[in-house]
Amino acid sequence: MTVTVERGVTSKQPHAGHPRRPRDSYALFLLPGVLAFLVVIIVPFLMNTGVSFTDWQGVGSPEWSGLANYRELLDDSEFWASFRHSLFMVVAMAAVPTAVGLVLAAALFDYVGKHFGSKTVAVLRACFYLPQVLPIAVAGIVWSWILAPDNGSLNELLKAIGLSSWQQDWLGDPDIALYSVMGVMVWVQLGFPLVIFMAGLQRVDPQLHEAAELDGAGWWRRFWHITLPQIRPEIYVVLTWCTIAALKVFGAVYVLTKGGPGGATNVPSYFSFTTFFEKTQVGYGAAISTVLTVMILLLSLIGLKLQTRAEEREGS
């Protein structure tokens, strides 16, 4: 991301001949931003990290306990379960939407766009994107009602088509709840990759496809060998963003299941929230969120690296 900016900057450097106007007086414009950042983000972040080394309960003065919280985390099965559920969320919010979004975007672009016009494409794209503009709390309300055990739409639907035996307590059964939440998250997330990929596809030179088609390559082959490599930067962006979003998922879990039943859908974000505000073990909650932060920053760096490399390869 930074690289794009740098490129723009360095390519237009020659106007340096203004000795009377020192460039750095622009730094004044940065002052409000940097101050606000220190107060709202940097200081709280450092406080949180600091508190994670204490056994603070939210009142009184925190007492230093070194790595005790982190050691406790290692033995905490609830903590490990929450991170295991995070992996499921990565599948539901990053892997599946990216894969399905790619196929949908390419199909919309190759078939619908070419033969049925851009209006049709816009309508279909809007349908897929719609859940993305919904507040996650509202999406949670909608789905918890659809998935309700008695009188829920899904169970009623199953009954109506004669599949009563498939009826479930979708969010209340510990064996199914996590998969139900995953299903909801796929629905929520799908529109994001779709829109990004459709924008990316417009960059791909149509002649590549035409040449391949003349050579007798079918749709899947062209998809695999032309479309995919061409929009690799977009794929990395989407995977990075969605994986981070998956690690942070909170609202959906809060509204759909409150982490239950019996911790079956607990995730680190919700786990740290309850540890902070319900158990008031602030030090321990801070340790959980610090681990989460480290993971997210690492992932961001990896994503950024991959993206930069893909862009460079594409540029050369």
Partner 1 sequence: MTSALRRYPVLIALCIAALFMIVPFLIVTLNAFKSPAEYSQNGPLSLPDGLYLDGLKDFWERVDYTQKLVNSLLISGGVAIFAVILSILNAYAIGIGRIKGRTWVLAFFVLANMLPQEALVYPIYYLSKEAGLYDTRLSVIIVFTVIQAAFGTYLLSSVLGQFPREIIEAARIDGANKWQILWRIVVPVSRPTIGVLLVFFFIWTWNEFLLPLVMLISNDNQTVSVALGVLQGQRLMDATMTNAAALLGVLPALVFFLVFQRTLTRGIAVGAVK
Minimum Å gap between C-beta 238 and partner 1 is: 7
State how far the alpha carbon of 268 is from the alpha carbons of 25, 84, 87, 144, in Å.
44, 9, 11, 21
60 binds partner 1 (CB under 8 A): no
Name which position in 89, 94, 98, 200 contacts partner 1 (CB under 8 A).
Answer: 200
Name which position in 68, 81, 95, 124 contacts partner 1 (CB under 8 A).
Answer: 124
- Of 261, 281, 256, 120, give the one whose Cα is nearest residue 185: 256
Residue 185 CA to residue 291 CA, distance in Å, equals 23
Q: Which region, left, alpha or beta, applies to residue 60 given φ > 0 means left and ψ of -120 to 50 means alpha? A: left
Q: Per-residue string for binding with partner 1, 246-285, x by CB under 8 A?
A: -xx-xx--xx--x---------xx--xx--xx----x--x
Paired with 54 in beta bridges are: 64
Number of Cβ atoms within 10 Å of the Cβ of 175:
9
Name which position in 296, 302, 306, 308 contacts partner 1 (CB under 8 A).
Answer: 296
Name which position in 93, 136, 182, 310 contacts partner 1 (CB under 8 A).
Answer: 136
Residue 81 CA to residue 148 CA, distance in Å, equals 25
Name which position in 223, 229, 241, 261 contacts partner 1 (CB under 8 A).
Answer: 241
Amino acid identity of residue 227, one-letter, is T
State how far the alpha carbon of 85 is from the alpha carbons of 169, 247, 256, 279, in Å.
19, 9, 15, 21
- Of 192, 201, 181, give the one whose Cα is nearest residue 241: 192
Name which position in 146, 176, 208, 217 contacts partner 1 (CB under 8 A).
Answer: 146
Return the range that interacts with partner 1 (CB under 8 A); candidates 3-11, 83-91, 170-178, 220-228: 3-11
Contact 136, 252 (CB under 8 A): yes
- Of residues 22 through 51, those in contact with partner 1 by CB under 8 A are 23-30, 32-34, 36-37, 39-45, 47-49, 51
Contact 299, 307 (CB under 8 A): no
- Of residues 64 through 123, those in contact with partner 1 by CB under 8 A are 104, 107-108, 111-112, 115-116, 120, 123
Residue closer to partner 1 (CB basis): 46 or 67: 46
- Of 228, 237, 247, 233, give the one whose Cα is nearest residue 102: 228
Q: Which two tokens stand for residue 111?
A: 């078939």
Minimum Å gap between C-beta 68 and partner 1 is: 18
196 binds partner 1 (CB under 8 A): yes
Minimum Å gap between C-beta 195 and partner 1 is: 5
Minimum Å gap between C-beta 288 and partner 1 is: 8
- Of residues 162 through 181, those in contact with partner 1 by CB under 8 A are none
Return the range that interacts with partner 1 (CB under 8 A); candidates 85-93, 165-173, 222-230, 239-247: 239-247
